[in-house]
């Protein structure tokens, strides 16, 4: 019949061969421990240098950054976005700043310049003003 014979040999998986980025040699490459992020380090005996052949990607990926900027532009606070995406608030601030720089490079402005926003009427209800010391304040009992 036209049945394919099952090969007893499993498909060949390309084996990782360490190649020195300094001298481009793949001979006499020895393992040299790991980085603090647990990527393998190799040592080239030919040129006596260490290198990481497959370094891990540092930082967050582009979709996460885009989503963070989009959420901030929707009106969420930096800290709220940071909590939602489980990232550092400073990271969100950095991505927003980078986004603004990118927009300005394209000739667009992300935010209106300071002072351009017209004064708006702000309505407050229940404003509490404390005159003198509050009773039972944070120093109560420590007189």
Q: How far is the CB of 22 from Zn ion (least distance, A)?
A: 4
Q: Does 26 bind Zn ion (CB under 5 A)?
A: no
Of residues 18, 44, 68, 82, which one binds Zn ion by CB under 5 A?
Answer: 44
Under the binding rule (CB under 5 A), the answer on residue 18 touching Zn ion is: no
Kindly indicate which of the ranges 41-49, 71-79, 104-112, 135-143 contains the residues binding Zn ion, using the contact rule CB under 5 A: 41-49
Decide: is 23 part of the binding site for Zn ion (CB under 5 A): yes
Q: Is 68 in the site for Zn ion (CB under 5 A)?
A: no
- H-type alpha helices, 36-135: 62-73, 78-85, 89-105
Contacts within 8 Å (CB) and 24+ apart, 66-69: 68/92, 68/95, 68/96, 69/95, 69/96, 69/99
To which residue do tokens 């019949």 refer?
A: 1
State how far the Cα of 39 lies from the Cα of 55, in Å rounded to an integer: 6
Check binding of 20 to Zn ion (CB under 5 A).
Answer: yes
Shortest Cβ 38–Zn ion spacing (Å): 23
Stretch that binds Zn ion, among 19-27, 57-65, 85-93, 106-114 (CB under 5 A): 19-27
Residues between 103 and 132 with contacts to Zn ion, criterion CB under 5 A: none
Of 105, 79, 73, nearest to 92 by C-alpha is 79
Contact call for residues 67 and 80 (beta carbons, < 8 A): no
Question: Which of the ranges 2-10, 39-47, 95-103, 133-141 carries the binding residues for Zn ion, by CB under 5 A?
Answer: 39-47
- Helix pair angle (89-105, 78-85), 10° resolution: 110
Contact footprint for Zn ion (CB under 5 A): 20, 22-23, 44, 46-47
């Amino acid at each position: 019949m036209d049945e394919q014979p099952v090969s007893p040999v499993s498909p060949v998986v390309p084996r990782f061969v360490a190649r020195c980025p300094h001298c481009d040699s793949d001979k006499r490459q020895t393992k040299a421990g790991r980085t603090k992020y647990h990527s393998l380090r190799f040592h080239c005996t030919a040129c006596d240098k260490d290198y990481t052949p497959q370094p891990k990607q540092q930082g967050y990926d582009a979709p996460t950054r885009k989503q963070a900027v989009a959420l901030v532009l929707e009106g969420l606070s930096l800290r709220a976005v940071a909590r939602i995406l489980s990232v550092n608030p400073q990271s969100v601030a950095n991505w927003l700043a980078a986004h603004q720089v990118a927009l300005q490079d394209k000739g667009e402005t992300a935010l209106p310049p300071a002072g351009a926003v017209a004064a708006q009427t702000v309505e407050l209800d229940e404003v509490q003003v404390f005159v003198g010391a509050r009773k039972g304040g944070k120093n109560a009992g420590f007189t």
